[in-house]
Amino acid sequence: MPDLRHRGWSPAMIRDLLGEPDHIRPNPLFRAGAPMALYRVARVEDAESGPDFAARAEQASRRAAAARHNAERRREATLGMIRAAPIDIPDLDRRLLTEYAVAHRNRRVDSGAEAPGLFPSPARMEDVPIAVRHRWEVNYLRHARTPYDSLLTALRGRVGRVQAELLLRRRVYAAIAARYPDLAGECDRQLARRIIIDGGEPP
């Protein structure tokens, strides 16, 4: 079947022009997988030389091209939505930002949205190392002061979602780093970790 699809056969063409396979064999890769349908080369070549195959193949090619065009148009619309989304990071007093970030983290732990880790809730700003504070500050800005979460929700089910999510993360982290340069390292770390989890391209 994969060889037939590579030669331009669609499932409907196989059904209508070839019919039942000449042999059925167990799946060679997965014992529980679907059996492998085999067709004699001579029968396939004979069908391919007929007028029905050429007409059907041209129709299938046009449909496939139209589907690819439609998918690309929808993907670009998804990416365009993320490109146009405003990402405005507030310019907060540094101590105030830390206070907001610690309070935000404590609320997430209390609600069960986040595990407490090494710091029980309520954590105090004075008890948290600077690297941890930076992580909480970036998380606070990303989740509470940008449309990051709502945009992720809006991307569900859309064509181009994976690329759009990566673009969104890049934009949000870049905006945070531009507003607070001392958080740039933490932004890079979080972005790299997210890309590894998602299996996307390197930063």
In a 3-state reduction of DSSP, which class is residue 21? coil
Tens of pLDDT along 104-123?
Answer: 999 999 998 888 888 888 98
Contact indicator for 68, 62 with CB cutoff of 8 Å:
no
**Backbone φ/ψ region at 194: left (φ over 0), alpha (ψ -120 to 50), beta:** alpha
Model confidence at 22: pLDDT above 70: yes
**CA distance from start to end of the chain:** 38
Phi then psi for residue 37, to 5 deg, are -90, 130
Q: What is the pTM of this model?
A: 0.73
How far, CA to CA in Å, does 203 sit from each of 43, 150, 163, 185, 199? 50, 23, 13, 13, 12
